[in-house]
Structure 1
Amino acid sequence: MSIVEQSAKLNLERIVFIGRTFEEYIDMFSLSIEELEGKKILDCPAGACSFTAVGSKLGLDVTACDIAYYQTCDNLKSKGLQDIEHAMEHMEKAKNNYVWDYFSDIDTLRKHRLSALKDCANDMNEFNERYVPVTLPSLPFKDSEFDVILSAHFLFMYADRLDYQFHITTLNELLRVSKDEIRIFPLMGLDGKRYEHLDKIISYLEDKGCLVEEVKVSYEFQKNANSMLKIIKG
């Protein structure tokens, strides 16, 4: 482990621990429970999302991984509650950057974020083995271990701090542990613009034999963030 990796693992203040609900995942990745049944699924990075908790209760085989999981469940729950309130305080100023259809108002958004955190924290407390600490771009999983990999609000979104090479290295690692398919949402950065190297990345993946498609989805909260990248492994 490098010094950079170690400091990232220990510095919880650099991690915003906020998550989406299971229902949001179904919509943002254009999924159905039926198509996920019998498949091994990885949520990477999962944060405080409830997809693993709720999915597991529905009989799905889901593993979550995130750098945040190096911390204790109690620390993460406390951090998550603080981060949600901090985010909601600032949401009022940025309201015009969002579409208020999926969530009718900030209070509804807060309820969804608190619900995701509660489900995640309770499940982590009871089934800790489902929550694997990782430091991307490395993953501690076997080759072709997962049928479906879902990656939300990380790749492409943080283009201001994650460079092109990081994206390529991470994608290669996701491809390594994937048997069939990877879905990434959204395709734009925090600046509201489409990731500038997306076409280059699509060409790179196609050259590796992957089938790649930009798919419009029903979920849109951040304006124009309503597409995912669907990668079928070649």
Structure 2
Amino acid sequence: MSEEGESTKLEIDRIIFIGRTYEEYLHMFRLHLADLEGKKILDCPAGACSFTAIGRNKGLNIEACDIAYTFNATELYNKGKDDLNHAMGKMQSSKSNYCWSYFKNISHLKRHRMQALTDCIYDMEQYPKLYKVASLPKIPYKNNEFDILLSAHFLFMYADHFDYNFHKQTINEMLRVTKKEIRIFPIVNLKGERYEKLDDIIKYLSELGCKIEEVKVDYEFQTNANTMLKIKK
């Protein structure tokens, strides 16, 4: 994930560049390869995740956007390594806030995070035009450009940083660029508590004619972060 900033001039030390793997995405969003074949997919915001890279290797049509992509691949790789080392150093003291079933231990987690970063950066170097700079709530794509939009570990998690209007504006933009379906994971904040205005979001989306589901998934690393919001237009 990466953090959006309020200033128009983004500094690299103001973002956190850590990502999840392609396999984690399939579990987080309750997806199989067959669900994605023949679809145009957007990962937003994508951070250092390898979903785009590995998915492309499997023949999928995926693009990614993130505020972090204003920096070049070398800068992001170095930033990602530093952030990963920092996060893993702090992980020992907060292990009890996580479920250790998907990952066996901190070393196992670090290997996955490093692999995600490496795959992401390599793909970014190979296909730079498919990684766009996006400062949410604005998303730099055309109306109905994508069949599916996936959004992991950003919306709802940072309720202390971004207010209800930010979440609503971002989801409006997601709806604008997406033809069929949006999936957002998880639906809790950093404390593992359900986003307090989620019912307001669901009511708003229902009034727009969307079909909404809160779907339990077979992935839980942060405690209580095991549910996604599925929005069908």
* Fold shared per TM-score above 0.5: yes
Residues 1:34 and 2:34 aligned together: yes
Q: Find the partner of 2:8 among 6, 30, 40.
A: 6
- Structure 2 distance, partners of 1:52, 1:138, is 20
Report the Cα offset of residue 4 of structure 1: 4.2
Residue by residue, what CA displacement relative to the aligned partner does 1:63-114 show, whole Å, maximum 9, x if unpaired?
A: 0000000001000000000000000001111100000000000000000000
**Aligned counterpart, 1:91:** 91
**Aligned counterpart, 2:218:** 218
Residues 1:49 and 2:46 aligned together: no
Residue by residue, what CA displacement relative to the aligned partner does 1:144-182 show, whole Å, maximum 9, x if unpaired?
A: 000000000000000010100000000000000010000
Note the residue ranges of structure 1 that are not aligned, 5 or more in a row.
Answer: none
- Structure 1 distance, partners of 2:6, 2:51, is 29
- Structure 2 distance, partners of 1:5, 1:186, is 26
Structure 1 segment 31-180 matched on structure 2, within 5 A: 31-180=31-180
Partner SS for 2:215: strand
After superposition, the CA RMSD in angstroms is: 0.9
Partner SS for 1:92: helix
Runs of 4+ residues over 6 Å off in structure 1:
none
Partner SS for 2:114: helix
Report the Cα offset of residue 5 of structure 1: 4.6
Question: AA paired with 1:6?
Answer: T
Report the Cα offset of residue 25 of structure 1: 0.1
Q: Give aligned pairs, total.
A: 229
Instruction: Say if 1:5 and 1:135, in contact at 8 Å, map to a contact too.
Output: no
- Structure 1 distance, partners of 2:140, 2:225, is 30
- Structure 1 distance, partners of 2:56, 2:125, is 14
- Structure 1 distance, partners of 2:134, 2:222, is 27
Instruction: Say if 1:150 and 1:183, in contact at 8 Å, map to a contact too.
Output: yes
Question: AA paired with 1:97?
Answer: N
Partner SS for 1:209: coil
Partner SS for 1:30: coil
Residue by residue, what CA displacement relative to the aligned partner does 1:48-74 show, whole Å, maximum 9, x if unpaired?
A: 000000000000000000000000100
Residue by residue, what CA displacement relative to the aligned partner does 1:199-229 show, whole Å, maximum 9, x if unpaired?
A: 1110110000000000000000011110000
Note the residue ranges of structure 2 that are not aligned, 5 or more in a row.
Answer: none
Report the Cα offset of residue 6 of structure 1: 1.9
Residue by residue, what CA displacement relative to the aligned partner does 1:112-148 show, whole Å, maximum 9, x if unpaired?
A: 0000000000110111111111111011111000000
- Structure 2 distance, partners of 1:20, 1:220, is 13
Question: AA paired with 1:57?
Answer: N
> Given the two structures, how large is their TM-score scaled by the length of structure 2?
0.97
- Structure 2 distance, partners of 1:121, 1:5, is 25
> Given the two structures, how large is their TM-score scaled by the length of structure 1?
0.96
Partner SS for 2:93: coil
